[in-house]
Each structure stands twice: as structure tokens, then as C-alpha cells.
């Protein structure tokens, strides 16, 4: 069995495993998705704390927000957009399609075939919101909320939002202008509503992709969820949170070959936390596998490659005029199921910690574990 399989084992035909992906409760994945989404950042100022204590209510929360945002947009008029149409008209509009006009002999009927842009509410953004309402109405627990979601979706259809759900590429390239920025929250809730349709271990009618792709998806969710959590909980406490920060190697420009820049690997950290007043910097590298593996001469050992990686992150930034980098702490953060590990070692002035977070625990406990990772460092407090 692989190290990842210890966290996400193959599905078993066990009814007791319904509501789980491997051994991870689906409700905890919902929580990570909420932290990873733009929606949580927008809700951070007024979101009820009970959501984290009762993650099963997260679909209801997202449904309430989505339906409320759609309802407000309907009252204030939906955002319009242009779509290209072709039609046979009694007057010239846009550009004339001469070939089709002649082929159908439209001039004899007093018509021309035109291609023109038309202002409409049937935009990819509105269609995506309507499809999200229809999707999440099947996930919520409260009947009245499910009815409201379907009612809002029908209202959009009656207003002319009748097209098919747009693809991911079409929605991702949508840009917000100064006058339609109010749609941002609605679209964030719609994205999260689609992502809440998670697989479980129980049998169903849908076919899933290969297990490796599922593991990759959850690995990315784990990284984004942890970064989003720290961004929401620590940013107002003087911490600066950077996800995917690139670091530069301290190369000597006059002592490298001409082609080295093309082949030398770059350094990019998963999460970097900095607090100038406290003089602290934490470089967190998230790894979605077991923190220890079987070694040559012992039963359990930490992967040496990960140690070399975090060591390079720390030592390569020394002596470059940044006092936080000179005393930074490195953290390798792994998930675990039912067990915990918190060990540390100091190497050449830098503390390196090896920590796990139990994804099978209660969500309140997961939050406490993530906060303890930042707080449990008395040397620099």
C-alpha cells in the first residue's frame, strides 16, 4: 500500500463509510473547499462561526448566499452582455450576409440576412449562477431552501437566462468591470456550489475519474485550503500571507554558464507567513502523504528529499538584507488520519518542524491544530 493510500485507501463496500472519501469525512473536505474559495474571504467579516462547528450545514450556507445574491441581482436587474446572432430581418442591422440573403432570395421578400450583436441577460455568468442553483438544490437539507433555489433558477429562466451551463474555460475568462463587480460574490458562491458535489464511498450512478486524479485534486485542495485558512484568520493580526511565493537562488552572476538560467530549477514555497513586529517568518510546505516512510535501517523515517527542500528554502535566503529570512522557521505539514506528530529540530539556526493535521478529526479541532502550528513556537514569540 502506498503512503497516499494510507490516507485515501481504496473504496470499500461498507455502508458505514458513506459520507467519506477514503477515511476523510466529506464534511471536512467541504470545510477545506470553503477556506480555499474566494467566497470565504468575502464572508470572513460576517460569517457565523457555527458553520465551522457544523460543516454539514455548509451546503445550506452556500445555497442561502447564492439564492440571496441572485435575488438581489434580479431586483437590481441582471448584468447584461453581448452575444452574436444571425437572423432574417426587415431592416439592416449589423453586417449583411450577402450569400445567405441571395441564396434564400430574401430581397424579393423585403428582408436581408444580418449578423449582429445583441444585448442580453443570457450571459455565461448568469447561466452559471442558474445552473449552480439547480445543482445545489439537490444538496441542501432544508426543503424550503431547496424550493427557494429552484424558484430562483426558474426566475432566471423566465427572464431569458435559458442557455446551457457554460464550460469552465468560458467562466474562468470572464472579467469584471467597474459596473458589474457586484456579481463577484454571486459567481464565487456559484463556483463553490458546484464543487460541493463531492463523491462518497457509497455506490451511485456516476462514474468517477481515475484514483490518481482524485488524489491530485484533493492534494491541491489541501494546499489551497490551508493557505486560505491562514489568510482569513491571521491577515488581520499583522501577518502577511503569501501563497506560491517564488524565491531566488543567491547565484553569482559572473560565475555561471550562459545556459544555466534556462535549465536551473526555480523555488516556489506553498505558504509563507511573515509578521514583522514579532520578527517571525514561517515557510510552510504542504505534503499530501504520510509524514514518515519505511527506511533502510529503521521502521520509520522522514523523507530526506523533503528535508533537503525545506533546508534550501531557509538557507538560500540568508544574508540578503531580510532579518526575517535569517531566522525563518520551516514547517513540513502533512495530513494524517487518527494520529498526530509534532517534532522539531534546529539546524544552523533554523528550526525545522514536522507536523501533521488530523483530517478525520472534528472540524473545530482541525482549526485548533492549524492555529497551534503558528502559535506553538515560543522561541520567537
Mean pLDDT calculated for residue range 218-238: 90
Question: Do residues 55 and 192 share a domain?
Answer: yes
Of 120, 147, 180, which one is at a domain's C-terminal end? Answer: 120
pLDDT at position 14 = 46
Q: 56 and 189 share a domain?
A: yes
Q: Which is it for the CA torsion 177, 180, 182, 184, positive or negative?
A: negative
Whether the pLDDT of residue 331 is over 80: the answer is: yes
Please indicate, yes or no, if residue 352 is contained in any of the structural domains: yes
Lowest average pLDDT, out of 111-120, 173-182, 251-260, goes to 173-182
- pLDDT number for residue 298: 81
> 83 near 118, Cβ under 8 Å?
yes
> Helix or strand or coil: residue 97?
coil
Task: Give 3-state DSSP helix, strand, coil % of the chain, rounded to 5.
Answer: 45, 20, 35
Is residue 370 within 8 A of residue 286, CB to CB? The reply is no
Query: 307 and 253, same structural domain?
Result: yes
* pLDDT for 210: 53
Q: How many other C-beta atoms can be found within 10 angstroms of the C-beta atom of residue 321? A: 6
pLDDT at 201: 61
Q: Which of 166-170, 188-192, 322-326 has the lowest mean pLDDT?
A: 166-170
Domain-ending residue, one of 200, 226, 248? 200
Tell whether 221 and 297 lie within a shared domain. yes
DSSP three-state, residue 340 = coil
**Domains of the chain: total:** 3
> What does the pLDDT read at residue 125?
92
Asked whether the predicted pLDDT for residue 12 surpasses 80, the reply is no
The CATH number covering residue 324 comes to: 3.40.1350
Q: Quick one: 303 and 254 in the same domain? A: yes
Band of residue 381 on the pLDDT scale cut at 50, 70, 90: very low
Q: Are residues 261 and 348 in the same domain?
A: yes
Does pLDDT of 173 surpass 80?
no
Work out the average pLDDT over 160-169.
Answer: 89
The DSSP string of 260-305 is: HHHHSPPEEEEEEEEETTTTEEEEEEE--S-SEE--SSSS-EE-HH
Residue 6 is assigned to a structural domain of this protein: no
Domain membership flag for residue 14: no
Measure CA of the first residue to CA of the last residue in the chain; give whole Å: 41
**Helix or strand or coil: residue 345?**
strand
Q: What's the CA gap between 36 and 15, in Å, rounded?
A: 29
Q: What is the pLDDT of residues 300-313, one digit of tens each?
A: 899 999 999 999 99
Percent of the chain with pLDDT over 90: 50
On the question of pLDDT at 330 being above 70, the answer is: yes
Whether residues 109 and 226 fall in one domain = no
For the sheet containing 112-120, what is the strand order? Answer: 81-89, 112-120, 95-96
Query: How crowded is residue 271: how many other Cβ atoms within 10 Å of its Cβ?
Result: 24
323: its cell numbers: 532579518
Work out the mean pLDDT of the chain and round it to a whole number. 85
pTM of the predicted structure, to 2 decimals: 0.75
Same domain, 33 and 161: yes
Looking at the fold, whether 53 and 166 belong to one and the same domain comes out as yes
242-262, pLDDT tens digit by residue? 999 999 999 998 889 999 989
Strand partners, 280: 275
Query: Could you report the per-residue pLDDT of 55-98, keeping only the tens digit for each?
Result: 777 888 889 889 988 998 998 889 888 888 899 999 999 999 99
What's the domain range around 147? 26-79+122-200
Last residue of a domain, one of 150, 168, 200: 200
- Domain presence at residue 330: yes
> Tell me, what's the pLDDT at 379?
43
Are 271 and 259 within one domain? yes
Residue 178 is given by DSSP the state: S
Confirm whether 21 is domain-assigned: no
pLDDT score of 362: 87
In a domain, 5, yes or no: no
Confirm whether 141 is domain-assigned. Answer: yes
What is d(CA 82, CA 177) in angstroms, rounded to the nearest whole number? Answer: 14
pLDDT of 374 reads: 92
Question: Which of 249-258, 323-332, 359-368 has the largest mean confidence?
Answer: 323-332
User: What's the pLDDT at 134?
Assistant: 95
132 in the same domain as 170: yes
Mean pLDDT confidence for 112-136: 93
- pLDDT on residue 4: 60
What pLDDT is attached to residue 49?
53
Of residues 379 and 250, the one with the higher pLDDT is 250
Judge whether 17 lies within some domain: no
**Angle at CA 209, nearest 5°, toward 203 and 215?**
95
Residue 285 and residue 347 in one domain = yes
CA distance 285 to 330: 8
Amino acid at each position: 500500500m502506498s503512503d497516499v493510500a494510507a490516507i485515501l485507501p481504496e473504496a470499500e463496500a461498507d455502508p458505514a463509510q458513506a459520507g467519506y472519501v477514503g477515511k476523510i469525512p466529506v464534511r471536512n473536505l467541504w470545510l477545506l473547499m470553503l477556506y480555499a474559495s474566494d467566497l470565504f474571504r468575502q464572508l470572513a467579516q460576517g460569517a457565523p462561526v457555527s458553520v465551522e462547528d457544523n460543516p454539514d450545514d455548509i451546503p445550506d450556507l452556500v445555497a442561502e448566499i447564492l439564492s440571496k445574491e441572485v435575488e438581489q441581482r434580479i431586483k437590481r436587474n441582471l448584468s447584461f452582455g453581448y452575444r452574436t446572432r444571425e437572423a432574417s430581418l426587415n431592416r439592416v442591422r449589423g453586417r449583411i450576409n450577402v450569400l445567405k440573403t441571395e441564396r434564400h432570395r430574401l430581397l424579393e421578400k423585403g428582408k436581408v440576412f444580418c449578423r449582429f450583436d445583441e444585448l442580453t441577460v443570457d450571459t455565461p455568468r448568469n447561466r452559471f449562477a442558474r445552473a449552480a442553483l439547480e445543482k445545489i438544490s439537490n444538496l441542501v437539507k432544508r426543503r424550503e431552501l431547496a424550493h427557494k433555489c429552484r424558484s430562483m433558477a426558474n426566475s432566471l429562466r423566465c427572464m431569458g437566462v435559458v442557455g446551457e451551463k457554460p464550460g469552465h474555460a468560458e467562466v474562468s475568462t470572464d472579467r469584471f468591470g467597474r459596473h458589474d463587480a457586484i456579481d463577484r460574490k454571486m459567481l464565487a458562491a456559484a463556483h463553490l456550489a458546484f464543487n460541493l458535489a463531492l463523491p462518497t464511498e457509497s455506490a451511485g450512478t456516476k462514474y468517477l475519474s481515475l484514483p490518481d486524479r482524485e488524489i491530485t485534486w484533493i492534494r491541491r485542495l489541501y494546499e489551497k485550503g490551508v493557505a486560505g485558512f491562514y489568510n482569513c484568520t491571521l491577515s488581520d493580526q499583522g501577518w502577511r500571507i503569501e501563497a506560491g511565493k517564488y524565491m531566488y537562488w543567491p547565484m553569482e552572476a559572473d560565475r555561471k554558464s550562459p545556459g544555466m538560467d534556462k535549465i536551473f530549477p526555480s523555488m516556489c514555497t506553498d505558504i509563507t507567513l511573515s509578521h514583522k513586529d514579532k520578527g517571525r517568518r514561517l515557510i510552510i510546505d504542504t505534503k499530501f502523504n504520510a509524514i514518515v516512510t519505511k527506511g533502510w535501517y529503521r521502521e520509520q523515517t522522514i523523507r530526506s528529499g523533503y528535508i533537503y527542500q525545506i533546508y534550501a528554502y531557509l538557507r538560500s535566503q540568508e544574508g540578503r538584507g531580510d532579518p526575517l529570512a535569517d531566522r525563518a522557521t520551516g514547517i513540513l505539514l502533512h495530513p494524517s488520519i487518527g494520529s498526530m506528530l509534532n517534532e522539531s529540530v534546529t539546524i544552523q539556526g533554523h528550526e525545522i518542524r514536522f507536523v501533521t493535521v488530523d483530517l478525520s478529526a472534528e472540524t473545530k479541532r482541525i482549526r485548533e491544530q492549524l492555529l497551534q502550528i503558528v502559535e506553538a513556537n515560543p522561541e520567537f514569540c
